[in-house]
Amino acid sequence: MAESPTGARSLRRVCVYCGSHRGRKASYAEAARRLGELLGARGIGLVYGGGRVGLMGVVADAALTAGAEVVGVIPEALETAEVGHRGLTELRVVGTMHERKAQMVELADAFIALPGGLGTLDELFEVWTWSQLGLHRKPCGLLDTDRYFAPLLAFLDRMVEDEFVRPEHRRMLLCDTSPTSLLDRLEAYRAPAVGKFLRREDL
């Protein structure tokens, strides 16, 4: 992630985690489409799971139509189930889910989760945990369409309340209902200078 003379950080590529299904509400696909278009309009590349179906396909097709570079990363075992997208700038077929997630993190400067299922949450929480541990300093965000993530956000606040998560680490996860505002916040993000583990004097 490059830094401009004003101190703002420019995003070269954003990794988007989202469902291989479209979900029940049309608003989910519409938000994915708007995000893909916005990435292209801003000259930001898309990194995603490589599928042609569900919200994955929607965001990829929108980004491609808007002129964005789109890199998909898909495990060989899922290439058939998720219908690997053959129209991308680059489709990387890897051996395992671990390789997929590691490559997506390496390729991207920021991460956004759209509505999705278990895989979406798995990817989001892993990359957020890596940030919490200081393994990277890249921002993570949720695009909260139709309050899809509201119960999750309430649970995360409960984790802070019960002192399992530091408030600083909770604030690492940026959340917005607007893709424009969310991208602005990702570009302005500064990682907090606080470690995961308690100091001895805190015990």
Q: CA geometry: angle at 63 spanning 57 and 65, to 5°?
A: 100
Average pLDDT, the chain: 91
Q: Domains of the chain, with CATH numbers?
A: 11-190 (3.40.50.450)
Query: Mean of the pLDDT values across residues 83-109?
Result: 95
- Please give the pLDDT value at position 9: 55
Q: Are strands 90-94 and 9-10 parallel, antiparallel or unpaired?
A: unpaired
Whole-angstrom CA distances from 187 to 2, 57, 179 are 10, 25, 12
Percent of the chain with pLDDT over 70: 90
Q: Are strands 13-17 and 45-48 parallel, antiparallel or unpaired?
A: parallel
- Please give the pLDDT value at position 102: 95
Residues in contact with 187: Cβ distance below 8 Å, sequence separation at least 6, in sequence order: 8, 9, 10, 11, 110
The amino acid present at 38, given as its one-letter code, is L
Helices (H), 114-149: 118-132
Q: Is the pLDDT of residue 96 over 50?
A: yes
Q: Which single residue is written with the structure tokens 């042609």? A: 52
pTM: 0.90
CA-derived radius of gyration, the chain: 17
Would you say 38 and 7 are in contact if contact means Cβ atoms under 8 Å apart?
no
- Please give the pLDDT value at position 117: 96
pLDDT tens profile 17-51: 999 999 999 999 999 999 999 999 999 999 999 99
Question: Per-residue confidence at 3, pLDDT binned at 50, 70, 90?
Answer: very low
- Please give the pLDDT value at position 194: 65
